[in-house]
């Protein structure tokens, strides 16, 4: 079993829909990251959180430390949100352990 599990693996949404991507982890962590990777592009850090909730524009990230679970929400989704979203945890030391990613496609 992977230390970081994401769901769903693939997600297709219609423009304007509310999207949720989930991440569960099995180890103690000091921080959790949500990353975005566009096709052929580099990786951008969207959020880093260790408790509670963060919001940036249409993106919201939450984490429940007791349940070892985090969610990334996208409100009013747009085709430009189409990308791979990756959950990564900082479990021991400074290295990141990554989930397999969620491929999101938003259709217009």
Partner 1 sequence: GAGVSQSPSNKVTEKGKDVELRCDPISGHTALYWYRQSLGQGLEFLIYFQGNSAPDKSGLPSDRFSAERTGGSVSTLTIQRTQQEDSAVYLCASSLALAPEQFFGPGTRLTVL
Helix (H, G, I), strand (E, B) or coil at 94: coil
Q: Is 12 in the site for partner 1 (CB under 8 A)?
A: no
Q: How far apart are CA 56 and CA 62, in angstroms?
A: 12
Q: Is 60 in the site for partner 1 (CB under 8 A)?
A: no
Q: Which residue has the tokens 């990564």?
A: 88
Return the range that interacts with partner 1 (CB under 8 A); candidates 12-20, 43-51, 63-71, 72-80: 43-51
Q: Is 93 in the site for partner 1 (CB under 8 A)?
A: yes
Q: Is 45 in the site for partner 1 (CB under 8 A)?
A: yes
Q: Is 52 in the site for partner 1 (CB under 8 A)?
A: no
For the bound state, the minimum distance from the C-beta of residue 94 to partner 1, rounded and expressed in Å, comes to 6
Neighbouring residues of 42: CB distance < 8 A, sequence distance ≥ 6: none
Q: How far apart are CA 87 and CA 72, in angstroms?
A: 9
């Amino acid at each position: 079993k992977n230390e970081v599990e994401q769901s769903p693996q693939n997600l297709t949404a219609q423009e304007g829909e509310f999207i949720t991507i989930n991440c569960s982890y099995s180890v103690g962590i000091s921080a959790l990251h949500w990353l975005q990777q566009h096709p052929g592009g580099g990786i951008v850090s969207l959020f880093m959180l260790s408790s509670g909730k963060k919001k940036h524009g249409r993106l919201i990230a939450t984490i429940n430390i007791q349940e070892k679970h985090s969610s990334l929400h996208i409100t009013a989704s747009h085709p430009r949100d189409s990308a791979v979203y990756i959950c990564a945890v900082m479990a021991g030391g400074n290295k990141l352990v990554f989930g397999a990613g969620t491929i999101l496609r938003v259709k217009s």
